[in-house]
Amino acid sequence: MAEEDQGFSGGMQDVSDMKIKCAGCGKDITELPFRPKEDQEVHCTDCFRKKKDEERESRMIDVSGKGIKCASCGKDIEKLPFEPSGDRPVYCSDCYRK
């Protein structure tokens, strides 16, 4: 067994014997945090992460016309994951993460 390409260890299972391909990009999948069923759709880490980002992105509300500014850095805020109430400070994604 080649000891290469072990991106993140811990909980990953070797599934190379199952000959699984990513349902998104068609890349061979050799490791997964779980063992999928035969007919289960599986995505590689890249596609999985992309899907998560898209899901989060699709939940964002467009507030670009409301003139909302970040309470910390003053940057214009265009998207929020919630409807701003007006009486609470809103932070941009950069400041929010801090």
Query: Given the rule CB under 5 A, which residues bind Zn ion?
Result: 22, 24-25, 27, 44, 47, 70, 72-73, 75, 92, 95
Cβ closer to Zn ion: 37 or 98?
A: 98
Give me the sign of the Cα torsion angle 72, 76, 80, 85: positive
The nearest distance, CB 20 to Zn ion, in angstroms, is: 11
Give me the sign of the Cα torsion angle 66, 67, 72, 78: positive
The nearest distance, CB 86 to Zn ion, in angstroms, is: 18
Cβ closer to Zn ion: 61 or 73?
A: 73
Please spell the DSSP secondary structure of 29-48, one letter per residue. E-EESS---TT-----HHHH
